[in-house]
A and B are shown apart, each in its own frame.
With several copies, the nearest count.
Chain A
Amino acid sequence: MHIQLFCFGQVKEAIGANLVDFECDEGDSVKALKMKLLNVYGGLKEVPDFRFAVNQEYVGEDYELSENDEVAIIPPVSGG
C-alpha cells in the first residue's frame, strides 16, 4: 500500500527529503508505520517526540492507514 509522507524540520533533515512515497501494508497502524520508518531512517531516533498527522489532522498511534493517505511526521512545533 502506497502513502505520501510529508517531512518537516528535523524530520526532513533526518529523512533527507520533504516528501517521500512510502510502501506499507494494508491495514498498518500509525504505530506500525513508525516502526518501519525507524528501521529505514535511523536518524529519526534523534528527533524528540514526533507526532503523526493524517490528511492534516493529528492522529493517535492506533489510527489505521488507508491507500493514498497524506501522512505527515510532525516534530515538536515552534511557531510564533
Chain B
Amino acid sequence: MSIQIVSSEIDVEACRKSAAADAAGAVVVFVGAVRDNTKGREVVRLEYEAYVPMAIKVLGQICERAESMFGLLKITVHHRIGILNVGDTAVAIAVSAPHRKAAFDGCQFIIDELKKDVPIWKKECFTDGEAWLTDRP
C-alpha cells in the first residue's frame, strides 16, 4: 500500500505500475483532474490544502477497508496539494484485483470515501472570484 500527499506533479504511470501484481487480472486507475469549469463558471486554478498527517491516516484506514471488502491485491493513492492548473492531476488511485469487478468497486469506494472523510480542501479560483468548495459532489 502506497499513500502519499505530494506538492509536485503526480506520476500516474508510476502509480499504475506500483499496483501491478502477477495474480492481478485487472488494474483500475482513477485520475481526478482539474476541470476547466464548475457548473459553467470558468476555472483559472485550484488551491488544495490538507491536514497532512490526518489525511494520510484516514486514507490508510479507507484503503485497509477497501482491501478487505473487495480483496484488492495492491493499492496506491497519491494526492497533490498546492496550486493546480486546468488539466493537472489532483489525485491518482490505482488498485489491482484478480478480477475486474473487485477492482472497479474497490477503486470507486476509495475515491468516494476520500471525498467524504479525508481532510483535504480545495479553493476554486474563477475568472470572477474564488470559493472553498463545500457542496459534496
Asked if A and B touch directly (CB within 8 angstroms), the answer is yes
Which A residues contact B (CB, under 8 angstroms)? 6, 8-10, 48, 53, 56-58, 72, 74-80
Is B40 close to A, CB under 8 A?
no
Complex CA–CA separation, A42 to B13 (angstroms): 46
The chain B residue with its CB closest to the CB of A12 is B49
Q: Assuming A8-B50, A77-B118, A80-B120, what are 10 further A-B pairs, CB within 8 angstroms?
A: A9-B123, A10-B134, A53-B54, A57-B54, A58-B117, A77-B120, A78-B122, A79-B121, A79-B122, A80-B114
A8 touches B118 (CB 8 A): no
With A77-B116, A77-B120, A78-B115 known as contacts, the answer to whether A8 contacts B79 (CB < 8 A) is no
21 contacts between A and B (CB under 8 A): A8-B49, A8-B119, A8-B121, A9-B123, A10-B132, A53-B51, A56-B51, A57-B54, A74-B51, A76-B135, A77-B116, A77-B119, A77-B121, A78-B115, A79-B48, A79-B118, A79-B122, A80-B32, A80-B91, A80-B111, A80-B137
With A10-B132, A77-B115, A80-B111 known as contacts, the answer to whether A72 contacts B54 (CB < 8 A) is yes
Segment 62-95 of B: residues with Cβ below 8 Å from A:
79, 90-91
The chain A residue with its CB closest to the CB of B26 is A80
